[in-house]
Amino acid sequence: MAAARVMVSASNTLTASLLSKGPLRRPNSFTLSFKNGTAQKRRIFTCSAIYNPQVQAKEEGQPETLDYRVFFTDNSGRKISPWHDIPLHLGDGVFNFVVEIPKESSAKMEVATDEQHTPIKQDTKKGKLRYYPYNINWNYGLLPQTWEDPSFANSEVEGAFGDNDPVDVVEIGENRGKIGQVLKVKPLAALAMIDEGELDWKIVAISLDDPRASLVNDVDDVEKHFPGTLTAIRDWFRDYKIPDGKPANRFALGNKPANKDYALKVITETNESWAKLVKRSIAAGELSLV
């Protein structure tokens, strides 16, 4: 049985930012922040964005059907992409995280990177909806404006090539997210998963709203305040394909989670890869850039 369906209200308001309306999103060297009514420039690697607190996640179709989609719109009703149009950086080591799969659920939801506006849908295999063999124990989703380049061989991770998707996040906080919810998180660690030969990073993070968020700032803090969690995450992602008759996934970097600094390095590099993608410096193939 799939876990309880998560309904996304049409009135669900998310805090996010939107890119300029042009079809080509050009990376810039600064974004605007507002403090005491004064605009200030901050040097970060992102796209120029306009702050807008009225982004909504709206579902179309019925959950657990092939037609089900969760689209994102701005306050004018214009569809936007959760992958391309929600900014990555929030400053001070804080990032936006888009929930695809709420904790304690099993429907394999993901951003449709090959569909216009990249809505969230349930993944399929041979025309059938996909479910994990058991519930995932953490909120799971993506970092917007990141991309694991399938043409880049990472020499630090066995020369593995990227999996052609945004970077995944495992959010370990106690609250259960909702499909399409945007959370502010801080990265704590990184796991270098090798899935059928492809590099599939898992960034371990925590929502700033979690009661223990102030206690965890790096990989060692996770083990102290969430004992056993890093091992449980690794083992879950290592084994979840075995019931389908596939081999276990592997982990590089000594089969251990890398620290926060390494996680930030991964985020920076994959943000740069995404920027090259949307500038069309790298062929997009079937990926949607809208």
What is the C-alpha separation between 110 and 101, in angstroms, rounded? 8
At 75 the pLDDT is 85
Please give the span between the terminal C-alpha atoms of the chain, in angstroms, as a whole number. Answer: 34
Diameter over CA atoms, the chain: 58
Tokens for 91? 């400053």
At 168 the pLDDT is 98
Q: Residue type at 186?
A: K
CATH architecture, range 56-279 = Alpha-Beta Complex (3.90)
- 55 within 8 A of 80, measured Cβ to Cβ: yes
What is the C-alpha separation between 214 and 236, in angstroms, rounded? 26
* 242: number of Cβ within 10 Å: 12
At 49 the pLDDT is 31
Q: 228: phi > 0 → left, psi -120 to 50 → alpha, else beta; which?
A: left
Q: 266: phi > 0 → left, psi -120 to 50 → alpha, else beta; which?
A: alpha
Residue that the structure tokens 């061989």 belong to: 153
- 46 within 8 A of 145, measured Cβ to Cβ: yes
Q: Name the phi and psi angles at 143, rounded to 5.
A: -95, 120
pLDDT per residue of the chain (290 residues) written in tens, 0 to 9: 434 333 333 333 333 333 333 333 334 333 333 333 333 433 333 333 333 446 899 999 999 999 999 999 988 899 999 999 999 999 999 999 999 999 999 999 999 999 999 999 999 999 999 999 999 999 999 999 999 999 999 999 999 999 999 999 999 999 999 999 999 999 999 999 999 999 999 999 999 999 999 999 999 999 999 999 999 999 999 999 999 999 999 999 999 999 999 999 999 999 999 999 999 999 999 999 99
Assign 206 to helix, strand or coil: strand
Q: Where are the domains of the chain?
A: 56-279
At 7 the pLDDT is 38
Tokens for 114? 């090959």
Q: Residue type at 251?
A: F
Which H/E stretch holds residue 183?
strand 182-195
At 198 the pLDDT is 97
Given 51, 132, 140, 262, the catalytic residue: 132
Q: Which residues contact 89 (CB under 8 A, 6 or more apart)?
A: 31, 44, 45, 46, 95
Q: Is 51 a catalytic residue?
A: no
Cα–chain center distance at 240: 19
Strand partners, 185: 95, 207
DSSP 8-state code for residue 242 = G
Which H/E stretch holds residue 69?
strand 69-73
At 201 the pLDDT is 98
At 54 the pLDDT is 65
